[in-house]
Amino acid sequence: MRDVASILPLSVEAVSFLVDGRRLIDGLSFAMPAGGLTVLLGPNGAGKSLTLRLCHGLLTPGEGRIHWAAGAEGRAKRHAMVFQKPIMLRRSVEANIAHALAAAGIAGPERRERSQAALARFGLSDRSEQAARLLSGGEQQRLAIARAWALRPELLFLDEPTSQLDPAATRQIEELLASLVAEGITVLMSTHDLGQARRLASRVLFLHRGNLIEDTAADAFFAGPQTPEARAFLAGELIW
Amino acid sequence: MEFAAIFKAAFALVVGLDPGFLAIVGLSLRVTLTAVLIAAMIGLPLGAALALARFPGRPIVIVCLNALMGLPPVVAGLFVFLMLSRSGPLGPFGLLFTPTAMIAAQVILVLPIVIALTRQTVEDLWSEYRDHLRSVGLEGVRAIPTLLFDGRFALATALLAGFGRASAEVGAVLIVGGNIAGYTRTMTTAITLETSKGDLPLALGLGLVLITLTLAINAIAFGASRIGARYAG
């Protein structure tokens, strides 16, 4: 069990993000309570990646605010992010995990223990000494998730984690994500793969032109979306 | 002396490990290696900082550094000479015509190479790593150790380039070292002097060592990039 208070729910309140006066994210509000896998859906340019980056703190909102449950400030970051293209350091598989743990201030013996645990958990133990950048695409993404997992996040952000992978590797990553959710990790991920969203999501946030236009349980969303944009998107029409 | 005889005498010097000959080679290596070491200690962190920092006038600094990579050695020598000469600001230390002065001049030659190549390497790595490093909380100065370590193979090549430049130059060490026999006479200054004196075997012997050194540097640089590709991807 975790010995400290949860950082969840995450609250996003009237957040806007502007670039050169263009509102790429416009008045976004939602909350992320603990549990489940929430999928950000929407056409290209809807603001899915921006939303994840804003939540994770890689970008600062121009307006509005993003905050975690009371008491989360000043403590070690309890949310992690996995990117579309795995960012692999030029080191061994194990050193990639150890580096992230070191950055989080975790000392030597515990760092090694947790790296080993992460390698074992994600089936990478026999690859621990290999150069991370020489792994296959699917293995790299698995390592990226293992690296994030080792940080023991409560909330994991993933930005289209399977968009560059073949179907088999995609399946493997999906199974992993489902097991993380079963473990109690809350997941917020973007995808443009509708099948994947159907398979994984417990909740859907549908973004369109920087606006959150639907926020519903996944079953309800796929059974009957409320907005014409979402209906068109599900029907496979090109919407902008 | 007959052409073939010159080669023979030169080989005899190299193979026979003549003490005077070895002293010259030893001094050259000591001066250049020390200069590269100092330039690395200053240039690696400074180049990395320059890669990450954003400030007004940054492009001008980068252009100047790139231009300094081509600084003529005699000009670097002249600058150090002016600094260290009796009436110069550092004159009281009495360093002119010492190995220390030669090291200083070579640091000035090597430093721009190290800073400029480090800046380029680290900037490229940062653009690739930025999202992940910021995600795990490494930004600014805290990101520098990771970037320098992950750029290690490219940076080794930068240091070797600096070593190549310093070990081959003659102008700077001649001006500030004075080519004093047994004290500040390096391979390059000795070749200059012996050639004009007519002691061709010594000049040629030293030339052979210099060429071998250059070859070795390039082999190591090539090896570094291959090892980098093999082990770091």
Alpha carbon distance B115, B49 (integer Å): 10
Query: d(Cα A39, Cα A48) in Å, to the nearest integer?
Result: 10
CA distance B229 to chain A (A): 9
Strands of A79-82's sheet, edge to edge? A79-82, A155-159, A186-190, A37-41, A203-208, A211-217
State how far the Cα of B233 lies from the Cα of A140, in Å rounded to an integer.
12
Q: What are phi and psi of B187, to 5 degrees?
A: -60, -45
Among A58, A77, A88, the residue with its CB nearest the CB of B131 is A58
Q: Looking at residue B34, which CATH number applies to its domain?
A: 1.10.3720.10
Would you say residue A125 lies in a domain? no
A193 falls within a domain: yes
Q: Taking the CA of residue B177 as centre, how many other CA atoms within 13 Å lie in the half-sphere pointing to its CB?
A: 31
Q: Does B232 touch chain A (CB under 8 A)?
A: yes
What ipTM was estimated for this complex? 0.91
Mean pLDDT value of segment A207-218: 91
Residue A240 has pLDDT above 60, yes or no: no
Res. A4: pLDDT tops 70: no
Domains of chain A: total: 1
Q: Is B146 on the interface with A (CB under 8 A)?
A: yes
Q: How far apart are CA A42 and CA B85, in angstroms?
A: 71
In a domain, A191, yes or no: yes
Question: Is residue A9 reached through a cis peptide bond, with omega within 30 degrees of 0 on the bond before it?
Answer: yes
B69 pLDDT band, cuts 50/70/90, is: very high
Write out chain A residues lying below 8 Å of B149, CB-based.
Answer: 91
**A37 has pLDDT over 90:** yes
| Interface contact flag, A83 B150, Cβ < 8 Å | no
Residue whose structure tokens are 């082990």 = B231
CB-based contact (8 Å) between B225 and chain A?
no
Using an 8 Å Cβ cutoff, are A2 and A9 in contact? no
The per-residue pLDDT for range A57-114, each reduced to its tens digit, is 999 999 989 988 866 665 568 899 999 999 999 999 999 999 999 999 998 899 999 9
Q: The tokens 């992978």 sit on which residue?
A: A165
List the one residue out of B155, B133, B136, B159 whose CA is nearest residue B146. Answer: B133
B110 vs B165: CA distance, rounded Å: 7
Q: Which of B128, B138, B232 sits opposite A131 (nearest CB)?
A: B232
In a domain, A106, yes or no: no
Residue with tokens 């859906």: A41
Do the Cβ atoms of B132 and A104 come within 8 Å? Answer: no
What's the CATH number where A14 sits?
3.40.50.300
Within 8 A of A131 by CB-CB distance, chain B residues are: 230-233
Nearest residue of A to residue B154 by CA position? A90
3 state SS of A80: strand
* C-beta of residue A135 within 8 angstroms of C-beta of residue A56: no
| pTM, entire model | 0.88
Tokens of B145: 């150790």
Q: For residue A118, is it within any domain?
A: no
Q: What range defines the domain where residue A219 resides?
A: 10-87+154-234
Most distant CA pair in chain B, distance? 70
In a domain, A27, yes or no: yes
Domain residues for the domain of B113 are 3-231
Q: What's the total number of domains in chain B?
A: 1
pLDDT for A1 beyond 50: no
Does residue A70 or residue B56 have the better pLDDT?
Answer: B56
Report, as an integer, the average pLDDT of A207-213.
Answer: 91
C-alpha angle B135-B137-B140 in degrees, rounded to nearest 5? 110
Of all residues in chain B, the one with the smallest CA distance to A157 is B135
User: Could you tell me the two tokens for A214?
Assistant: 């639907």
Which residues from chain B sit within 8 angstroms of residue A58, using beta carbons? Answer: 131, 134-135
Q: Is residue A226 part of a domain?
A: yes
Does any domain span residue A22? yes
Residues 6+ apart with CB under 8 A from A37: A177, A178, A181, A186, A187, A189, A200, A201, A202, A203
* Helices and strands of chain B, counted as H and E runs: 10, 0
Residue B224: per-residue pLDDT: 84
d(CA A205, CA B198): 85
